[in-house]
Each structure stands twice: as C-alpha cells, then as structure tokens.
Amino acid sequence: MLHLGGLRTALFNYLLARRYGGEFILRIEDTDQARLVPGAAEGIVQTLEWAGLNFDEGPGKGPDKYFQSQRSDIYRKHAQELLDRGAAYRCFCSTSRLEALRTEQTAQGRAPAYDRHCAHLSSRQIDEKLRAGERHTVRMRAPSAEDSDSGRFYDIVHRAMDFRGPAGFDDAVLLKSDGQPTYHLANVVDDHLMRITHVLRGEEWLMSTPKHRALFTAFGWQAPQYAHLPLLMNPDGSKLSKRNDDGPVQRYIDDGYLPESLVNYTALLGWHPETPQELFTLRQLEQSFSLAGLSRSKSVVSRERLDWLNRQHLRAALADPDKSAGLIQQARAEVAAASGLETASVRPETVATALRLAGDRLTFTKDLYNAVPFMFGDPALDTTAAEQALILVPHEFHIPILNALEHALASEVSESWIGFAKSVAAAAQVPTKHVMMMLRFALTGERFGPKIPELLDALPVDSIKRRIRNAKTEIESR
C-alpha cells in the first residue's frame, strides 16, 4: 500500500524526469520476504496509474527486470566482486552475539556498530567455516573517516553535508544470510546499471548516504546526485506514518478525492513554485517543477487545504467535456445509493444540473445528494431546517405570498426570475426579500442554499408549482 510520502517521492522523481527529458523508472524493492505483503506491488502500480504518473520503465514495461527479488544473481555477483577486491568480507557472527554487542554498546552510551570481529579472518578460517556450512552475511569494509570523502557530499535539499564519523561508516550488511541483498547493495547496483543520475528519496535515508557513496567508490562508479525529502508531519507534530488515517493513499482514493487534486496537493508538500500559484494540473507541474524549489522544512498534512483544492479541481473537471461525463455517472450512482432511489430513476441531466448548482459547496461528488437533496425530490417541510427558513417571514405574509406565487405561475413567466419575484412582492404587498425566503422554504425546505434565480432556472416549472402547493398545504394544516 503506497503511503502519501511514497507518492510524493514518486511524484517528484516523475516531475524531474518530465521537466528535463529523463526517464522515470519504477523498481520494486521486495527482497525482504518476511515483510512482503501479497498484492503490494500491484497496488503501487495501480496507484501510480490512478495518479497519472506513468513510468517509462518498470514492471511490465521495459527491457530489464524491475523486481529486486528477480535480480538476486546480479547482486551476488557484485558482492563477490567486492569480496575479491577486499572491499567486503564474510561475517559469521551469530544473532545472539550481535544482540549482545548491541546491548553492551548501548549501555556504554555508544552508537551500535559492528566491531569487525570477522573482518580479519584468514582465508583458511573462512574456507573452514564455509565447508562446515556456517551461515554468514557479507559486510562492506567501510573506509575510515580519514581515508574517505564518502561522508562529505552535497545534497540538493540539505546542501553541504558532513557525516564523517562512526555513524556514517559502520560495516553495513550487503548480503543477508539467506543470500538476499539489503537495500544498500541492491540500490547502489541498480542505480549504476540503470544509469540513474538523480535519486530523490525520504530523508530517513540521509544517514545511509555515506555508505552508498562508499560503495560507489568501491566499485569505481560515479554516484548519482541525491535529494533527501523532509518528513511529512501530522498537525500535532508527530510523524505521518502508514498507520495514520492520512497516511495511505488508498484512504484518499476511498474518500473521493480526485487524482488531480491529490497530485496538486502532494506537489506542494515540500516544493515551492516560483509564483504564488496554488492550483496546478499535472501538465503544469511538469513544466514548473525545479529542484531549486525543494524545501528543507517538514510539511504538515492538512485536509483543509486538500479539500479546497479538490473543490477547485472538481469544478474544473465538470467544465471539461472529456471528464464531466464520467463524473456525472459516478455522482448518479452515488446519489442513488444515498437516497435509496433506483439508479435508472436518477436522470443524468438532473445530476449535471445539481452538480452545477452545488458549485463550490461540494467537495466530493459523493456528497451531492446531501448538498442538494431537493434536486432529486420534493423537500420535507415539517423539519427543523424548513422551520428555520419559515420563521424569517412574518406569519401573516405566508399565505398571501404563496397565493400570489400560485397566481403568477398560472401563466407563462415572460420576465426574469428577479422581475417575477418583484411582481409577486408587489401583488402580495410585501418586501421582495420575504418572497425570496418563501420560495426557498417551498423549493428546498432549507434556510440556506443556491441563489433563488439559479434554483428557479434549475427546477422544472411543474415542480416549482407543485412545491408551492405543498408549502401552502403544509402551512394551512398548522
């Protein structure tokens, strides 16, 4: 399941590739079989497709193997190359010894690091252990801080970095005892073989970058440029994780956000455009994105801003003939589910009109029925909401206004609805504002809602006449 931070990382890599004519490559890191979730890879691909982030190479597309579990032979070959060069060694330490070492170092206030217990085993000792079938890992022989510049590098986001010291130069495991590679080896090898020039990833990998640069040096390869993206945070200052409601991308999809709005929002989590513009299409992001706009500050995930973006993109999509038809059909099914009506009885034309009428008040299409229920049936007039509208008009004006409305609607209305309301007000000898509120009461059963002229244009005249008769019956029955 792709996390919002993972979507941001993918998006920034995608935008960088599109802006500068590069290639966006999707690799699936599935070498840790114990943590492998069935269907996770397919979910990542589907989520990227939903977001419109089409990769140039990846599962099912391209000349290479893109699941790291399918590339084990490649990693073992390169691990052997490091062993032959003396840049790596076999470690036969048991799990219990390593745990005891870690406990001792922690108790002494030292950072846990391997003590190179196996780094100086002779060839004969190693051969004996191998013949005995002892389980082992392969560790990199990390250079000392004095002998290497791997810990000193330039990060596109964090600028000049200097991690020279024990934390950046422990002898990391490259091949696990089951023969599978760790992230350190697999990604360095793949970055080289796939000609990766830029790596944009989460800042949790910043401390590991010296190890990766040391591996590039050990192989004699050129390291890519790195950009480590700051963490995403909850409003309370805690780290956004997969376990948070706002963590998984699928949660946003299920909640009804449009891909355009989530992509727009995600792009602004750690990237600042050169202009005050906030609303972007994916194409506009491709043309505007730059590494110079990446921020070192942590970004707070806020649904309020995302909701606003979704309203703007929903309005734009409804105005686009290529997108509106699908949204209307989606909203039609959602209205049927919310109202209990048969889908066949919910007319697409009514849904389209309702979507236009709801306007900026609508964040999701699934909320259409609750936003304008009166578009799909006569409103109930004995509710608290209806009463709140009715009490704004003096009681003695209720029936005169409704009688005047009935009379005026008996013949074809040839003037604007504003002119019509003023004529009714004059006939009933009441202020125009009371006519407007009585119309709102009769037509919607609510105090607030769309502008009355827009509402009168949206509803069929027969429906308007019937609702006014219903309002008159309701009031006369009290």
As annotated, the active-site residues are 242
Can you tell me the distance from the alpha carbon of 79 to that of 87, in angstroms, rounded to the nearest whole number? 9
- The DSSP annotation for 218-242 comes to HHT-PPPEEEEEPPEE-TTSPBP-T
Query: Which residue type sits at 265?
Result: Y
Give the residue from 375, 269, 256 showing the smallest Cα distance to 314: 256
| Crossing angle (nearest 10°) for helices 4-20 and 40-51 | 50
What six digits make up the tokens of 123? 């060839």
Residue 100, φ and ψ in degrees, nearest 5: -65, -40
DSSP conformation letters of 30-82: ---GGG--TTHHHHHHHHHHHHT---SBBTTBSSS--BGGG-HHHHHHHHHHH
> Distances from the Cα of 207 to the Cαs of 69, 71, 144, 167, 169, in angstroms?
25, 26, 16, 8, 10
Amino acid at 78: H
What is the residue type of 447?
R
